[in-house]
Structure 1
C-alpha cells in the first residue's frame, strides 16, 4: 500500500505543489484534525504555515477545495488499495485459516491508521457529518474495487473459511469493528495506558469468531 505522502505526490489535486503550498497543506491537515474543518479559518492555516493568506488562495480557491484535496485521494487511492489487498492475497499459500487472514488484515490496517491518524480523523469526521462530502467521497471510489471485495469474500467462502453471509454484511462487520477500536482510542478518548497488544488480539479473535462458518 502506498504511503499518504506518495498518494498526495501523485494526486492531481496536490501534485506539483511548491514548498510554500506544501506547508499550507500540512498546516491544514494539522488544524483540521485538531480543531475540525468548520472551526478552522484560512487565516489560521496561513498563520500556522508561516505564509500570507493570499498564498493559500493561489493554489486553492477556498477552504472547501483545500479539504477536498486532502480527502479525495483517500477515497480514490487508499480505500481502493485496502480492498485490492484483500483480492490479491494468495489465500491458499499464505492464509490457511481465517485467523491468519484477519490477523494480517487488522494489523496492517491499524499500522496505517496510526501512521496517518490526523488525515484519518479528518476523513472520518467529514464522512460522518457532512452529507455532501460523503457523496463526493463515495463517488471517488472506483467501481471495480467494489467487485474485487466480493470476489475475495466468495473465494474465502468456497474454501470453507468464511461464514456464508451476504458480502456487504461481512465487510461491514470487519471494518466497523476496526473503526470502532480506532475511534475509541484515538478519536473519542485519549487512552495512552491501554494494553494495545492484548486489545488487538481480542479484536482479531472477536472478528474471527463472528465470521467463522458454523452449522446453521
Structure 2
C-alpha cells in the first residue's frame, strides 16, 4: 500500500480495514493515510460542522494545503471517507453476517435474537469511529442517506423479512405484516446499541441486564396471541 506503515497509534482495526478496502490500487500516500486517520478521529469526536481542516492537518502532521491537494473541500474529505465505508465495508459485512444468520439453524426465535444482538454489538465496537460519523451526518447529508439506503437497507430488509416469515410459519412470532415485525425488531435492537456505544457511552451501563431486557421486550412484543 504505497509504503504506508502503521505506527502503534494507527494500528486500530477500523483504520486498517478502511485503508485495505479503499486503497486497492496502492495509490494512497503516507500523508493521505495520515489525513484520513486524523479526519476520521476529528469528525467522530467533534462532528463535521465542528471540525476544521486546519485542526485535521495539525493532527495529521501536514500542511493544511496538503489536504486541499487531495480533496477540494472538507465535504469532499468527509464523503471520500464515509461513501467507501458504506459501499465497500458496511454493506458487504451486513449482507455477509445476515447470510450467516440465515444459514444457521436456531432452535427458536430467542436464540436468533440473541445472536443478532451479539453480532451487532461486535460490529459497532469494531467500527465505532466510522459509525459515529455516519450516525451524526446522515440527518444533514441526504446523499449519504441515499447511499446507505441503496447499498444496505434494501438488501438487509429482504433477508430480515425472510427470517421473520420463517418464524411466523413456525408460530413463534405473531401474525402481522412482516415489515412491521422487522421494524419493531430492528428499532429495539438499534435503540440499545446506538445509545450504548454512540450516543451515551459514558452512562453507567449494566450491559448484560440491558441485553436481557431488550430480548424480553422484543419477545413479549412479538409473541403470538395464544402465548400471552
Q: TM-score, normalised by structure 1?
A: 0.82
Counterpart Cα distance in 1 of 2:152 and 2:200:
30
Contact kept? 1:170, 1:211, Cα under 8 Å: yes
Deviates more, 1:23-32 or 1:113-122: 113-122
Residues 116/149 of structure 1: CA separation in 2 closer, same or farther (3 Å cut): same
Counterpart Cα distance in 2 of 1:165 and 1:15:
50
Structure 1: unaligned runs, 5 residues or longer: none
Aligned to 2:97: 85
Residues 22/104 of structure 1: CA separation in 2 closer, same or farther (3 Å cut): same
Residues 155/22 of structure 1: CA separation in 2 closer, same or farther (3 Å cut): same
Pair 1:118 & 2:129 matched: yes
5 Å-filtered alignment, 1:47-196, equals 47-76=58-87, 77-90=89-102, 94-141=105-152, 143-196=154-207
Q: Secondary structure at the match of 2:179?
A: helix
Residues 84/25 of structure 1: CA separation in 2 closer, same or farther (3 Å cut): same
Larger radius of gyration: 2
- What's the CA shift for 1:52? 1.3
Residues 63/8 of structure 1: CA separation in 2 closer, same or farther (3 Å cut): same
Counterpart Cα distance in 2 of 1:87 and 1:126:
28
Which structure has more RCO (C-alpha within 8 Å, separation ≥ 6)? 1
- What's the CA shift for 1:29? 1.0
Q: TM-score, normalised by structure 2?
A: 0.78
How much is the aligned-residue C-alpha RMSD, in angstroms?
A: 2.9
- What's the CA shift for 1:129? 3.6
Residue number among 39, 45, 49 corresponding to 1:28 in the alignment: 39
Contact kept? 1:153, 1:167, Cα under 8 Å: yes
Residues 188/143 of structure 1: CA separation in 2 closer, same or farther (3 Å cut): closer
- What's the CA shift for 1:14? 9.5
Counterpart Cα distance in 2 of 1:98 and 1:15:
45
